[in-house]
Structure 1
Amino acid sequence: MISRLLYGLVALVLCALPAMAGYVEPDSLKDKVAKGELPPVDQRLPSEPLKVTIEGEGKSVGQYGGTARILIGGQRNISLMTVYGYTRLVRYDDKLQLQPDLLKSFDVQDGRVFTFHLRPGLKWSDGEPVTTEDFRYALEDVQLNEELSKVISPYLLVDGKPPKFEIVDDNTLRYSWDAPNPDFLPQIAAPQALSLVMPAKYLKQFHKKYQSEDKLAELIKANGEKKWTGLHINKARQYRPENPDLPTLDPWRNITKPPSEQFVFERNPYFHRVDQEGRQLPYIDRFVLNVSSSSLIAAKTGAGETDLQAQNISFADYTFLKESEATHPIRVKLWESGRGSRVALFPNLNFADPVWSKVLRDVRFRRAASLAINRDEINQAKFFGLSRPSADTVLPASPLYREEYATAYTAYDPDKANALLDEMGLDKRGSDGVRLLPDGRRAEIIIETAGEDSVETDVLQLITDHWSKVGLKLVIRTSQTDVLRSRVIGGTTMMTVASGLDNGVPTADMNPKALAPTSHEQMQWPQWGIFVESAGEKGTQADVKEAQELFDLYKQWEKAADSAARAEIWHKMLALYTDQAFSIGIVNGAKQPIVISAKLRNVPETALFSFDPTAYFGVYGMDTFWFDKKGP
C-alpha cells in the first residue's frame, strides 16, 4: 500500500516537472540571466505556457536571433506590430477557429455567460504578474469610465447594458449579460481587439481615481497634456504602442519614443508561448520599422531593404519584384486577398438627385449594371487570370460560401442587361446611343474614386467600354479620401469604387453587420448607417424593403444563442445581399505579393491576406518566423 502511494507521489512530481523546468532560453537573453538582470526562462514563463506545435510543409523548429526590417508609410503604422504579433486573450488559428491564447481556457454558457481561466504565472513584459485586477481596471476604470471613454464599445453592451463582472478566484473571472452577446469573443480575437486587460499597476499613476491631485497635475504638465484623460489615453494606448514604458503581452515591445524615423521592437522576455521543444518564442530578436514615403516602398522592397513586406506593395508591383529576386536576396510569394472583392462598385442609394435616386434604388438597374461587366476580360487584362470573377461576397475558404452567392448576376450578358434597362423605362436613347433618364438627361454614371489605387481606375476604364454597349456612359472622377467620404455621406456622390467586404472569410460566429445598413462608412447607404449609429437621432431610416430586411436579420443574429442559428441567418443575409446587388463585385481571390528575406523561414507559401480576421501575418504565427543563418 505504501509503495503504491509513493509511486503515485513520484508520478505526480514527474508530471509537474515539464511545467517547472526544461524550457530553452533565447540566446540573446542568456547574458542578462547570467548577470541577474532577468530571472531564468522557467521563472518568466507561466506555469502552463501555450505550446505551439510547428508542423506542415516547409515549417520547422527555428533558430534564435536576427533583426527583421519592415518599411512603413508613417509612424502611426507601428500598429502593424500589434496586428502582426497577434497576441490575444482568445485568438483565431489558421483554420479560423477560436482558441485560448493568453487565457488557459474559456467557457461559454447560453451565448451570454463567459468564464475566463487565466494562465497562472502569466506576466507583463516588465515582469509584473497579470492579475484579475488588470481586467477589473480595464473594464470599470477605463472602458466604463465616462471621462476616458466617451462612447462605450458596443461589444460590451447588450440591450444597452454593460456586463456583470465577477472575480471568481485569483485565476478566474466572468462576464455575463442577460441576453446573448455573440460579438464578444470575436471582438477580443479581432486584429484591433476590444481591450479587456490592461497593466493596472503601471496605469494607475495616470488615473485621477488613484493618483494625488498634485502629482497628477505634475505628470500632465511634464507630458504636455491638458487633462488627465489625455494623459491616460496616450500612456495606455495598446493598439498603436507609442509609449515604450507601457508593459505589453505581445511578442515584441516598442523601445522607441516618437517622433522617429525608425522604431525598434525588442523581444518580450516574458512572452507566454513555447514551441514543441520548449523553446520560448519568439525566435526573432527584434524588428526595426523604418518610415519611408509610401510611393518609394515598392522600389525599396525590390532593392532588398526589407525582410518582411506586404504593406504598400500591390499586384501591380509583382513583375518588378519577381525580377528583383535575381539581383537581391529576396523571395516573392503570392497570397490570396481575403476581401469579398478586389474592386467593387457601390451605388449610393442615398444619392440626393431624386431622378437618379429612383434609378439607383431599382434592383433591375443594379443587376443590369453587373451583367454588363465582362469580368473575364478584366481578370485577364488586370490580374493575369489569377483572380475569380465574383459578386462581392464570401470566398470559397469561408464555411459560409455557396456558389450561387458568387455567381449572382456576374455572367457577362449584355442582352439581358439591355432588356432589364428597357423594362425599367430607360428605353430611350440619344443620337450617340446613350440612354436617357425620365427627365431627358443622359444616363451618365459618375463613379468617384479616392485615386490611391491605380487598379481601381484601370478597371473602371475597362467597364467604361462594357457599359457603353448597353447605353450607359461611365465618367470617372477622382477625389481625396476625406473629401470623397464627405460627399458620399452628403448624398452628392452617385457611385463609388473601392474594395469589397473587408472580411471575405467569415464564420457563422463573426458579425454580419457589413451586409446591413449599420455604419456611416458604408458607401451604398451612409444615411441609413448614420440612423442606426445615432439610434435614430440623425440620418434617415432605410426605406428600401430589402435593406431594412437585412438590418432585421442582423438584429436577429445578435440575439442568436448558438452557431447553427447564426449560420442560418448569415445565409439568408448573403442570399438577399447578392440577389439585390447592393454592391457590385468584380473579381475576388486577387493576389497580394509578400516579399521576404531569402533567409526567412516558416512564412507560408500561400495563405489568406487580410486585416480581418487573419491579422495579415497574425494567425500564421509571426513569432515562429526565423532566420536561417545558412542562407537560401
Structure 2
Amino acid sequence: MVTRRTFLTGLIGSAVLPSVAKAAADRDIEPEFLRDWLRAGRIPAMVDRLPTHPRIVNMKAEGRQPGVYGGTVRTIIGSQKDIRYMTVYGYSRLIGYDKHLMFQPDILLGFESTDDTVFTFHLREGHRWSDGHPFTVDDFRYWWEDVILSKDLTPGGGALELRPHGTLPKFEVVDNLTVRYSWERPNPMFMPALAGPLPLVIFGPGHYLRQFHKKYQDDFRLSALMKQNRVKKWADLHIKMSRASRPENPELPTLDPWQNTTPLPSEQFVFVRNAFFHRVDENGVQLPYIDKFILNVSSSSIIAAKAGAGESDLQATGVDFNDYTFLKDAEKRFPVKVSLWKQVRGSRVALLPNLNCADDVWRKLFRDVRVRRALSLAIDRHEINMVAFYGLGKASADTVLPDSPLFRQEYADAFIAHDKEQANKLLDEVGLKNRDDEGIRLLPDGRRAEITVETAGESNLDTDVLELVRDHWREVGIALYTRTSQRDVFRSRAMSGTIMMSIWYGIENGVATADMSPGQLAPTMDDQLQWPLWGMHYLSAGQEGSPPDLPEVRQLVDLLNHWGDTMRFEEREVIWHQMLSLYTQQVFSIGLINSTLQPILRSAKLQNVPAEALYGFDPTSYLGLYMPDSFWFKEA
C-alpha cells in the first residue's frame, strides 16, 4: 500500500489569484527601517523582493493580532556562541512544525512524501536570500554535489539522517523549482530532521560559498582567504564561512527573519531584519514586525539578575524556575511581564548512572537493573517537588508528558514510589548486604558504596536537588558526593568513563509523536550521559566507541532500526510504546520531576507572546514554534 503525504501552500505555477504581496502593492507598507535602503536603491520594493507566493501567516486565525513595524528587542546571552539562539528562535525551515506538532511547509511552497522513501520539494518562485540573490534549486545542487559528496568537507559520508541504512539518497533536480530525494528504503527521520531546532542542512548559498571552495577558487586567492580567516585547510575555511547554525559570519546570506551584522569577537551582537524574508501577515505586511534584536553577552550566572533589573525585553534562556519569584517581583519596578511555560523534557532533572564508567565494580552494579530500580525507589520525589518546585511539577519517571499522544501512566509511574523497604531489599539481593559502622554499604571489593554525582554547575537547582537525594540515599546505605566541572570538561570526563553518575536533563522531547524519531530512548549520541561510548558507536557508524553489550540496550537499538524501516504509522506507534516501556522499566535514566515550569520574561509592550505554551529545545525550538517574527511592540 502506497502512502502519500502532500502539503502544498499557494498555487504552484499558477496566477489564477493575485498574491497577498501584489494585492498590497498599491499601499505603502514598507518598514521605516528600510526606507534609506529603498531610496539608495540597495533593495527593491516589497512586491519585487517577496516570493511570488509568500507564506501567508493568518494572525487572527492563529490567535494572534496583526502588528506594526518597528522596535528593538534586547536579550542577554551567556557567551558569544549563544548567538546560535537566533537561528533557533527564527525557526525558518524548509518544513517546520505547526503548534499541533504537525509538519507544514515554510521556506518550501509545498512538499510530497511517498512511503517515506521519495520526498519532492517545491520552491517558492522569486524567493531570495538576504543579499537579494535568488534562492533556487542550484543551492540544493551545490550543497549536494560540492559539500555532501566532497570527501574534504564531509569525510564521514553525510549526516545519519541522510544515510539511515548506510547509503545516501538519490538527488534530482526535477525542474527549476523542484528537487527530489529518494531512498530505496523508508527514511522517516528525514522530515523531523528538517523541522528540528538544529535542522539538517541540505542547501546553502552557493553563489556566496563558491569563493571558499577549492573547485571554484584559484589557489592563490584561496590561500589569502585562509590566512585572513586563520585556518590552515580550505575545508576548514568553507565550514567556518558556511556555518548557518551559529551565525558568526555576517556576510553569510540567510533565509532567517533576522541576520547578524556583528563579527566576532564582540560583547554585543546586532541582528537586523531580513528585507527578503518570505512570510507576510494576512494584510500583506512583511514579517518580521520587529526591526532589530540586540544580544548582550554577560556571565551566565547573572542573566536572571540583569533581566530582573530591566535590561532585557525578552528572556527565556539563562533563567530558571528558581528565578521566578525574583523575576515576578520585577513587574513592580519595570514594564515587564513574566509568564510560565511548561517544559517539554521527560524530566527537569534526571540522574544518569554511566553504564560505560571505567570503574569495573560500579559498572557491573549500574548494569544490574535492580540497582537502578533501588536508587530510584529510594528517592522521595514528593519532597523534591515541594522544596524545589513549590509543588508545581509532577513526580515522574523520565518519559513523555501527558501532552504527548504516546503518554501512558504506567511509564510515568515506573519505580517512582518512595519505597525504602523495597530499595533495601533490592540492594541486599545484589550482594550489598554488609555495611560499615556508619551504615554505609560495602562494595564487593571492600570499598564504601559512595557515588559521586557530577554536574556542569549551570543551575543551582541541580545542587538543591542533590542535597535532598543525598539524604534519601543515605537512608538505604548509599553515600552521595557531588563534583562540579565546566560543561566541556564534564562531557569529556563522561566519554572517558571517569564520571560514575551525572545529573542532567531527562529525554529532550517529552511531547513526541509516533512520526518523530525515538532515538532519544536508545544510545544514538555521544552526549547521552548514561551510555556515551555506546552512543558514539552508533553516531560514528561503528568507527568509534563500543557496541552495546547489554541485551536490553541492544533491544532498544533493534527497535529503533525497525522504526526507521517501517512506513506505517501504526507500526511506528507500537515501536514507540515498546521502547518507552523498556526504557522506563529498565530505569536507564532516573527521572525525578517533569511538567515543570519555565519563566519567560518579556516587555509589557511586546505583543503576541503566548501567556502559556510548551518550552523546550526539541521540538518547539524554545520560542521558535511561536514565531518571534510575529511579535511586535504596541508602541513601536
Establish whether TM, by shorter chain, passes 0.5.
yes
Equivalent residue runs for 1:244-283 within 5 Å: 244-283=250-289
Amino acid at match of 2:120: T
| Alpha-carbon separation, structure 1, partners of 2:185 and 2:107 | 26
Match of 1:602 in 2: 608
TM-score, length of structure 1 as denominator length: 0.94
Q: Give yes or no for the alignment of 1:40 onto 2:45.
A: yes
Aligned residues: 619
Shift of 1:96: 1.1
Q: Give yes or no for the alignment of 1:338 onto 2:340.
A: no
Equivalent residue runs for 1:109-258 within 5 Å: 109-151=114-156, 152-258=158-264
Q: Give yes or no for the alignment of 1:75 onto 2:84.
A: no
Match of 1:409 in 2: 415
Secondary structure of the structure 2 residue equivalent to 1:220: helix
Match of 1:563 in 2: 569
Contact 2:525 / 2:536 at 8 angstroms: preserved in 1? yes
Q: Which residue of 373, 378, 394 maps to 1:372?
A: 378
Shift of 1:355: 2.8
| Alpha-carbon separation, structure 2, partners of 1:317 and 1:347 | 28
Shift of 1:258: 1.7
Equivalent residue runs for 1:519-530 within 5 Å: 519-530=525-536
Match of 2:491 in 1: 485
Match of 1:294 in 2: 300
Equivalent residue runs for 1:380-419 within 5 Å: 380-419=386-425
Secondary structure of the structure 1 residue equivalent to 2:119: strand
Using the TM superposition, name which of 579-588 and 38-47 deviates more. 38-47
Secondary structure of the structure 1 residue equivalent to 2:18: helix
Amino acid at match of 1:601: Q
| Alpha-carbon separation, structure 2, partners of 1:215 and 1:470 | 68
Using the TM superposition, name which of 115-124 and 34-43 deviates more. 34-43
Match of 2:10 in 1: none
Name the CA shift for 1:140/1:439 in 2 (closer, same or farther; >3 Å).
same
Name the CA shift for 1:419/1:218 in 2 (closer, same or farther; >3 Å).
closer
| Alpha-carbon separation, structure 1, partners of 2:451 and 2:584 | 21
Name the CA shift for 1:537/1:618 in 2 (closer, same or farther; >3 Å).
closer
Greater Rg, structure 1 or structure 2? 1
| Alpha-carbon separation, structure 1, partners of 2:226 and 2:477 | 64
Secondary structure of the structure 2 residue equivalent to 1:345: strand
Name the CA shift for 1:352/1:209 in 2 (closer, same or farther; >3 Å).
closer
Deviations 1:67-88 (A, max 9, x none): 1111111221111111100101
Secondary structure of the structure 2 residue equivalent to 1:173: strand
Secondary structure of the structure 2 residue equivalent to 1:503: coil
Q: Give yes or no for the alignment of 1:509 onto 2:515.
A: yes
Secondary structure of the structure 2 residue equivalent to 1:107: strand
Shift of 1:58: 7.0
Q: Which residue of 431, 454, 458 maps to 2:460?
A: 454
Q: Which residue of 19, 23, 28 maps to 1:21?
A: 23
Using the TM superposition, name which of 510-519 and 455-464 deviates more. 510-519
Q: List gaps (5 residues or longer) in structure 1.
A: 1-11
Using the TM superposition, name which of 359-368 and 425-434 deviates more. 425-434
Match of 1:5 in 2: none
Using the TM superposition, name which of 46-55 and 98-107 deviates more. 46-55
Secondary structure of the structure 2 residue equivalent to 1:325: helix
| Alpha-carbon separation, structure 2, partners of 1:28 and 1:441 | 68
Name the CA shift for 1:348/1:625 in 2 (closer, same or farther; >3 Å).
same
Using the TM superposition, name which of 367-376 and 556-565 deviates more. 556-565
Shift of 1:357: 2.5
| Alpha-carbon separation, structure 1, partners of 2:289 and 2:283 | 13
Shift of 1:523: 1.7
Amino acid at match of 1:549: Q
| Alpha-carbon separation, structure 1, partners of 2:567 and 2:404 | 21
Contact 1:51 / 1:275 at 8 angstroms: preserved in 2? yes
Name the CA shift for 1:33/1:536 in 2 (closer, same or farther; >3 Å).
closer
Amino acid at match of 2:602: I
Q: Give yes or no for the alignment of 1:314 onto 2:316.
A: no
Name the CA shift for 1:93/1:153 in 2 (closer, same or farther; >3 Å).
same
| Alpha-carbon separation, structure 2, partners of 1:466 and 1:569 | 35
RMSD: 1.9
TM-score, length of structure 2 as denominator length: 0.93
Match of 2:333 in 1: 327
Deviations 1:194-239 (A, max 9, x none): 1122111121122121223333333334444433223222221211
Name the CA shift for 1:278/1:491 in 2 (closer, same or farther; >3 Å).
same
Secondary structure of the structure 2 residue equivalent to 1:155: coil
Shift of 1:268: 0.7
Shift of 1:311: 1.5
Contact 1:158 / 1:177 at 8 angstroms: preserved in 2? no
Q: List gaps (5 residues or longer) in structure 2.
A: 1-13
Q: Which residue of 356, 375, 387 maps to 2:362?
A: 356
Contact 2:351 / 2:504 at 8 angstroms: preserved in 1? yes
Contact 2:89 / 2:624 at 8 angstroms: preserved in 1? yes
Q: Which residue of 484, 498, 509 maps to 2:504?
A: 498
| Alpha-carbon separation, structure 2, partners of 1:558 and 1:238 | 28
Q: Give yes or no for the alignment of 1:473 onto 2:479.
A: yes
Q: Which residue of 69, 73, 85 maps to 2:90?
A: 85
Percent identity of paired positions between Structure 1 and Structure 2: 55
Q: Give yes or no for the alignment of 1:99 onto 2:104.
A: yes
Amino acid at match of 1:15: L
Name the CA shift for 1:42/1:583 in 2 (closer, same or farther; >3 Å).
same
Contact 2:20 / 2:282 at 8 angstroms: preserved in 1? no
| Alpha-carbon separation, structure 1, partners of 2:374 and 2:73 | 50
| Alpha-carbon separation, structure 2, partners of 1:226 and 1:358 | 45
Name the CA shift for 1:423/1:179 in 2 (closer, same or farther; >3 Å).
same
